[in-house]
Amino acid sequence: MKGRWFIVHYRPNGLDSARLGVVVAKKLARRASLRNLLKRIVRENFRKMRAGLPACDLIVRLHAKADDATRAMLNEDVSRLLARLPRATQQPESGG
């Protein structure tokens, strides 16, 4: 799923809760302080919404330069993406 600044890749994990990975490329956020801020924003939104998320592995990746974005705009983008995750992700069937 694609937002204004972030992309979310997800896959069911067969566990009890969701897990998160965050990727912020140096190519899109040159300063380390900006990369760290973006990762903190994603992690905080994930922490707040984790109980309501489906049991899946998430990779949140920056896909556009966020130099002109405010914190509120970034928070809104991440929270919208996490809210769009399908609530009933299908568990892979085990053939047996």
Domain architecture of the chain: domains with CATH = 6-83 (3.30.230.10)
pLDDT band for position 88 (cuts 50, 70, 90): low
Cβ–Cβ contacts within 10 Å for residue 96, how many? 3
* pLDDT score, position 87: 78
Query: Residues near 92 by Cβ (< 8 Å), separated by ≥ 6?
Result: 12, 14
* pLDDT score, position 9: 97
Global pTM value: 0.86
pLDDT band for position 94 (cuts 50, 70, 90): very low
- Average pLDDT for residues 53-73, to the nearest whole number? 95
